[in-house]
């Protein structure tokens, strides 16, 4: 039997961030269970990337991880260019144009998921209060009035005979940070609201000979949005490129389209797929070429009816998933982690007794569910606004976009959303010198 204060199921970006945030603010003893261990980084580029906003960057900085990340494969971007394929509307954002946040040089950073996870994992391994369990998955969790009991599954009888059986874990709180198909959520029978977006996302790495110009590009097509996210490629593709080099030419694409269209695009020959991307992007990035495999997955909105049940909390994709058109899914999960750490440690006494307060956890659930609901509604609104519309509506949409593009107050609010700077952020999401 092994005793811990908090058991985190899932050592992805969100689960690892929670572990580090808890340890920064307390002496709580943390267990993390995940059989998907981190390996050394190689030169292959992960097609799965995240758009990290300023709030998330602040979280990483306050946890001592950003210094590692910024010296790794991180691409900053200062501009966003959005346009409507079916009309004349366009939006151009620049961090330097914001009167509200003139000190921000970047709108965000594009980082491969495996690079973020590697940096977080390395930082967690340095903390003697964080213990990893990577040999076996959990088999069950049961809870009492003051503790949760978790048992491990064992892959073979040979493990038992060799004395490799992992003893059960007793913890005061279990956190499910184990993704959209959360095992923890299923074990606790937490109800979910689902909505099929009727979109599949295609992700891949491409080269754009015009250079990405430190810009995130997004075009709204009749079938859905296509985003080109700038990637850092020094020593990987373009030997002479740097993070601030406008001629850096690698991008990660996220192409959200109907299931039938996604199937068609995935089955195209490589050269034909590249031509389709060039045409869809109006040639703004040059004649695009494909540099990786193509991956596709269905897009579904999920929202847990409650993020807390007894002594179990779910965060990140285990609690909510949203459309990737604004790239806010990971940022929302990182804020969950920072907010939960703040909630658990705010009233913590030296003896660590009773740090699991149901009233505080319910307040956390309302806090984070409210923001997730707001983000889900915003994504639904944007998706609907750019759906196929009659010509007069398309014309009005274009006029509206162009008006916003020249109206600073609204534009500044949109920039603030992109930066992730808003009211009621967890403490870790603010700049270091403001804590």
133 and 42: one domain? Answer: yes
From residue 359, give the alpha-carbon distance in Å to each of 175, 184, 208: 17, 21, 52
Quote the tokens at residue 209: 């000979």
243 and 381: one domain? Answer: no
Q: Which of 38, 49, 1, 44 is nearest to 16 (CA)?
A: 38
* CB burial string 342-381: b at 16+ within 10 A, e below: bbbbeebeeeeeebbeeebbeebbebbbebbeebbebbee
19 and 161: one domain? Answer: yes
pTM value is 0.90
The DSSP secondary-structure symbol of 427 reads G
| Band (237; pLDDT cuts 50, 70, 90) | very low
pLDDT of residue 395: 55
Average pLDDT over residues 191-211: 93
pLDDT of residue 406: 56
pLDDT at 325 over 90: no
More confident residue, 412 or 235: 412
| Band (239; pLDDT cuts 50, 70, 90) | very low
pLDDT digits (tens, 9 = 90+) for 326-340: 778 899 999 999 999
* CB burial string 173-206: b at 16+ within 10 A, e below: bbbbbbbbebbbbebbebebeeeebebbbbbbbb
Burial of 127 (0-12, 13-18, 19+ CB in 10 A): middle
pLDDT at 409 over 90: no
Q: To the nearest whole percent, how much of the chain has pLDDT over 70?
A: 82
pLDDT of residue 235: 47
CATH code for the domain of 407: 3.50.50.60
Q: To the nearest whole percent, how much of the chain has pLDDT over 90?
A: 63
Across 13-17, 251-255, 367-371, 381-385, least confident range = 381-385
Residue where a domain terminates, one of 270, 295, 320:
295
Q: What is the 3-state secondary structure (H, E, C) of 397-410?
A: HHHHHHHHHCCHHH
pLDDT of residue 420: 75
Contact yes or no for 65/40 (Cβ under 8 A):
no
CA atoms within 13 A on the CB side of 179: 7
pLDDT of residue 400: 66
Residue where a domain terminates, one of 255, 273, 295:
295
304 and 416: one domain? Answer: yes
Average pLDDT over residues 90-118: 82
Number of domains in the chain: 2
Cα(267)–Cα(390) distance, integer angstroms:
31
Cα(390)–Cα(187) distance, integer angstroms:
47
The contacts of residue 228 (CB under 8 Å, 6+ apart) are: 206, 208, 212, 216, 217, 218, 251, 252, 253, 281, 285
Mean pLDDT across the chain: 86
Average pLDDT over residues 310-323: 95
Q: What are phi and psi of 403, to 5 degrees?
A: -65, -45
Average pLDDT over residues 124-152: 94
Residue where a domain terminates, one of 295, 320, 336:
295
pLDDT of residue 163: 54
Q: Which of 149, 120, 181, 200 is nearest to 319 (CA)?
A: 181
Q: Give helix 358-385 / helix 329-345 axis angle, nearest 10°.
A: 170
Average pLDDT over residues 120-137: 96
pLDDT at 352 over 90: no
75 and 17: one domain? Answer: yes
Quote the tokens at residue 414: 């949109």
CATH code for the domain of 214: 3.30.9.10
178 and 233: one domain? Answer: no
Q: Which domain holds residue 119?
A: 2-194+300-434
pLDDT of residue 164: 65
């Amino acid at each position: 039997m092994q005793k811990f204060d908090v058991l985190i199921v899932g050592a992805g970006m969100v689960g690892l961030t929670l572990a580090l945030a808890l340890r920064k603010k307390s002496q709580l003893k943390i267990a993390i269970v995940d059989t998907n261990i981190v390996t050394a980084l190689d030169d292959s580029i992960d097609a799965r990337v995240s758009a990290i906003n300023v709030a998330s960057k602040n979280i990483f900085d306050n946890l001592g991880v950003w210094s590692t990340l910024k010296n790794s494969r991180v691409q900053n971007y200062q501009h966003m260019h959005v346009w409507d394929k079916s009309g004349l509307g366009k939006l151009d954002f620049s961090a330097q144009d914001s009167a509200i946040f003139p000190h921000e040089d970047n709108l965000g950073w594009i980082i491969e998921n495996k690079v973020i996870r590697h940096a977080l994992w390395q930082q967690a391994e340095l903390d003697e209060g964080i213990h990893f369990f990577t040999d076996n998955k959990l088999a069950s969790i049961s809870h009492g009035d003051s503790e949760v009991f978790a048992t491990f599954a064992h892959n073979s009888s040979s493990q038992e005979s060799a004395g490799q059986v992992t003893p059960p874990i007793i913890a005061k709180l279990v956190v499910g940070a184990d993704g959209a198909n959360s095992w923890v959520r299923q074990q606790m029978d937490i109800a979910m609201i689902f909505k099929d977006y009727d979109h599949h996302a295609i992700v891949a790495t491409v080269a754009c000979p015009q250079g990405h110009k430190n810009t995130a590009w997004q075009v709204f097509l009749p079938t859905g949005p296509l985003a080109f996210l700038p990637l850092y490629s020094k020593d990987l593709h373009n030997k002479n490129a740097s993070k601030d080099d406008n001629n850096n030419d690698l991008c990660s694409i996220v192409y959200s389209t109907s299931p039938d269209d996604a199937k068609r695009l995935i089955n195209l020959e490589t050269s034909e797929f590249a031509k389709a991307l060039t045409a869809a992007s109006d040639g703004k990035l040059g004649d695009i070429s494909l540099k990786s495999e193509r991956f596709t997955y269905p897009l579904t909105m999920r929202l847990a009816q409650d993020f807390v049940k007894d002594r179990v909390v779910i965060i990140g994709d285990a609690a909510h998933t949203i459309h990737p058109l604004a790239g806010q899914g990971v940022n929302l999960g990182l804020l969950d982690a920072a907010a939960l750490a703040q909630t658990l440690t705010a009233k913590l006494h030296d003896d660590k007794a009773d740090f699991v307060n149901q009233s505080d956890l319910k307040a956390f659930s309302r806090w984070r569910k409210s923001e997730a609901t707001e983000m889900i509604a915003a994504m639904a609104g944007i998706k609907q606004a750019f759906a196929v519309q009659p010509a007069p509506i398309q014309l009005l949409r274009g006029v509206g976009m162009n008006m916003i593009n020249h109206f600073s107050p609204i534009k500044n609010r949109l920039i603030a959303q992109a930066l992730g700077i808003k009211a009621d952020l967890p403490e870790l999401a603010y700049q270091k010198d403001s804590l």
